[in-house]
Amino acid sequence: MNYSWDEAKRGKIKDDRGLDFADARLFFDGRPASHEPTPRNDEDRWKTTTLIEDQFYTVVWMWRDAKQHIISMRRAHEKEIRKYRELYVS
């Protein structure tokens, strides 16, 4: 899969949160993940939550020019973790 992102935003997230947009592939590598639409203005945005190295993370993304454009990445909120667990943990 191909990804794109704003380099300035990537640097800010890397500095502020220690997360790198280049790791977005981990959200889409076939592991269980919850996907939820999160539209903003006229954009069709999505947020995807998954478990990476025993921690829950969420990436916000959208399709742009046949690529997944990464908008943000962060530790998952409790509501997102609950949704993931409802789908994948019995």
Reported as a single tens digit per residue, the pLDDT across 18-54 is 999 999 999 999 999 999 999 889 889 999 999 999 9
Beta strands 33-37 and 45-52: pairing type?
Answer: antiparallel
Query: Domain limits of the chain?
Result: 3-88
Amino acid at 18: G
Q: What is the pLDDT of residue 85?
A: 96
Q: Is there a contact between 68 and 28 (Cβ–Cβ < 8 Å)?
A: yes
> 68: closest CA among 24, 17, 10, 32?
24
**Segments in the chain forming alpha helices (H):** 7-17, 78-88
CATH class of 3-88: alpha beta
3-state DSSP assignment of residue 54: coil
Q: Is there a contact between 51 and 69 (Cβ–Cβ < 8 Å)?
A: no
Q: What is the pLDDT of residue 89?
A: 86
